[in-house]
Structure 1
Amino acid sequence: MNAQTEITVENGVNTEALVGAREAFARTPEAAAFTFRNTCSWISGTESSNEINGYFGLGQEHTRPESFTINSDHPVVFAARDTAPTPPEIVLSALASCLTGGVASVAQHRGIQLRSVKVNVEGDVDVRGILGMDPDIRNGFGAIRVRFEIDADATEDDIRALVAQSQKRSAVFDLLANPTYVHVDLA
């Protein structure tokens, strides 16, 4: 007789709620339409402050108990004050955070215990494009590299599958890898 030991995995992700949400959205797809918002205010020079709070989802408006603030600036080498990360650095941190959250969620769902996850992200920008020096040089990232260091109770193939599934389901990865229509207007 083989006694099986049930291993409890705790990565801090409520997969039952996520599976329940999938089932609910299958029944009412209109509830899955979310609109996230950010309000950015100029401070001085190239420094600005972003306030994040309300969003629309599940068919209604939501307000968080407190607002989140993300400031941005540019480095001293661009004659700025360097009081906060640059907007491209914030994009890289968003990508890393989205992929990391995905790895934790997928690991929890697949019964894989994580011990640590670290993601290093680098993005290459040729600033001659931003400065208008050459119209053929892109303003944004020419390349982004993501490198995971994951320690988990899993095989290397299982860990690769976690990363692949996280990448497949990442909203920020999708935003960076695929064209997104951006409409800019004046109020």
Structure 2
Amino acid sequence: MTHTETKPALINGVNVEALLGAREAFEAAPKAAEFTWKATSEWKGGVHTRTEMNKFSGLGEEQSRSKTFTIDTDHPEIFAAPDAAPTPTEIVLAGLAGCLTAGIASVAENRGIRLRSVRATLEGDMHLYGILGVDPSTRNGFSAVRVNYDIDADASHEEIEALVAQSQKRSAVFDIFTNPTNVFVTVT
């Protein structure tokens, strides 16, 4: 009689078994868990910038993807710009949405909760007096960010709230938003 190993079916498309395996491996080799994410941008003219992402370091060495990703940023016409791409602040909101939503899918998979749909609406409040130098006491960045989730899942409202809470607890981008980060800017 032959023994065949069956892999558990993924209900939301997240391989939690692999994630938990990575967690165990990183616990055994903490230096391998130290990652540096990289992006390189180039000014295209006006307020249009193109940023490429491919290389990063992790697992103790330099890594590169099989594909280079690009994100363009620009500003709307009301700022006398061509509106060729989203603003950098919109990309930041997209990063928060993507990170939290990935976490929700991962936690749901781990808890055996089938997701039918997950939709996030994000809003970030910003007063332009800071950016434009009208009032130096006005913050340049967001004064508040609101994330509203509409989730349809085989779970109670409380279980869905718990998914979202666990996602916030594990989200790198949520942490970046809610905790100060040292940023060092140099000119070469």
With the shorter chain as reference, the TM-score category is over 0.9
Alpha-carbon displacement from aligned partner over 1:25-76 (angstroms, at most 9, x marks no partner) = 1111110000000000000100000000011011111111110000000111
* Letter aligned with residue 38 of structure 1: A
TM-score (norm 2): 0.94
Separation in structure 2 between the aligned mates of residue 151 and residue 51 of structure 1, nearest angstrom: 34
Percent identical residues:
57
Mapped contact 1:39–1:50 kept (Cα < 8 A) = yes
SS in 1 for 2:99: helix
Match of 1:32 in 2: 33
Unaligned runs of 5+ in 1: 1-6
Figure out how many residues of one structure are paired with residues of the other and give that number. 181
Match of 1:77 in 2: 78
Unaligned runs of 5+ in 2: 1-7
Counterparts of residues 43-58 of structure 1 (less than 5 Å): 43-58=44-59
* Letter aligned with residue 143 of structure 1: A
Counterparts of residues 1-187 of structure 1 (less than 5 Å): 10-187=11-188
Runs of 4+ with >4 A deviation: none
* Letter aligned with residue 183 of structure 2: V
Return the offset for 1:8.
5.4
Identify if the C-alpha distance between structure 1 residues 56 and 63 changes in structure 2 by more than 3 Å, giving closer, same or farther.
Answer: same
Separation in structure 2 between the aligned mates of residue 38 and residue 63 of structure 1, nearest angstrom: 12
Separation in structure 1 between the aligned mates of residue 36 and residue 151 of structure 2, nearest angstrom: 32
Return the offset for 1:9.
5.1
SS in 2 for 1:54: strand
* Letter aligned with residue 167 of structure 1: Q
TM-score (norm 1): 0.95
Mapped contact 1:9–1:113 kept (Cα < 8 A) = no
Alignment root-mean-square deviation, CA: 1.0
Separation in structure 2 between the aligned mates of residue 69 and residue 153 of structure 1, nearest angstrom: 36
Separation in structure 2 between the aligned mates of residue 8 and residue 69 of structure 1, nearest angstrom: 33
SS in 1 for 2:67: coil
SS in 2 for 1:70: strand
* Letter aligned with residue 151 of structure 2: I
Separation in structure 2 between the aligned mates of residue 8 and residue 91 of structure 1, nearest angstrom: 33
Separation in structure 2 between the aligned mates of residue 9 and residue 110 of structure 1, nearest angstrom: 12
Separation in structure 2 between the aligned mates of residue 71 and residue 124 of structure 1, nearest angstrom: 22
